[in-house]
Amino acid sequence: MRLVPLGALAFAGLLMLNATAGAQGFAPPPPPSMDEPPPGVDNTARESELPPEYRRQPVFYRSEHPVGTIIVNTADRFLYLVQPNNTAIRYGVGVGRDGFQWGGTHRITRKAEWPDWTPPPEMIERQPYLPRWMAGGPGNPMGAAALYIGTTVYRIHGTNAPETIGQSVSSGCFRLVNDDALDLYRRVPVGTKVVVQHQ
């Protein structure tokens, strides 16, 4: 999906619509309703089934953080890329399941397209059946692009399982559909500030 520039009038209407939706609030996301899909399974064709509220879109968004900051709200399951004039690009994300959610401020320290996946030792200990390494590709859980967060084991990345967007199933990483992961990858440089808000 490509972000199409909006005319001034259309954008003003969109801001009003989003402001109204924000005032009413979105329904709280459902509790986890699925297990983590197995690695190697390619469900990327299901991106077209993504619910409208989790599709990439410009929204009205006030923030004290500078333009270009990434803000992840784990409760709402949205990632915001701060833009000028009290706006942001909002992406739907999958977040960590109970016990694996976290907050803090970091920087993007590395970027990779179609990255290989090496599960960290902590994940292998919890899930010994996981592969020790998997080459990048459509069935790889890291998806089409990854942004590495500080010195943590966490990443913002694509996914082979778009049905998990809006869910809390991961081990703490933030996943987007592959089109959104690539869009974000192209917009932000290494060094970008990342704020993870967890209430």
DSSP 20: H
Give the containing element (helix H, strand E) for 15.
helix 8-24
157 is catalytic: yes
Given the residues 65, 106, 173, 198, the one annotated as active site? 173
27 sits in the region (left: phi over 0; alpha: psi -120 to 50; else beta) called beta
Q: For residues 24 and 168, give the distance between their C-alpha atoms in angstroms, rounded to a whole number.
A: 23
Question: Residue 68's CB: how many other CB atoms inside 10 A?
Answer: 15
198 is catalytic: no
Asked whether the beta carbons of 80 and 71 are under 8 A apart, the reply is yes
Helix spans in 51-177 (H): 121-126
Given the residues 65, 106, 157, 198, the one annotated as active site? 157
Q: For residues 195 and 70, give the distance between their C-alpha atoms in angstroms, rounded to a whole number.
A: 6
Catalytic residues: 157, 173
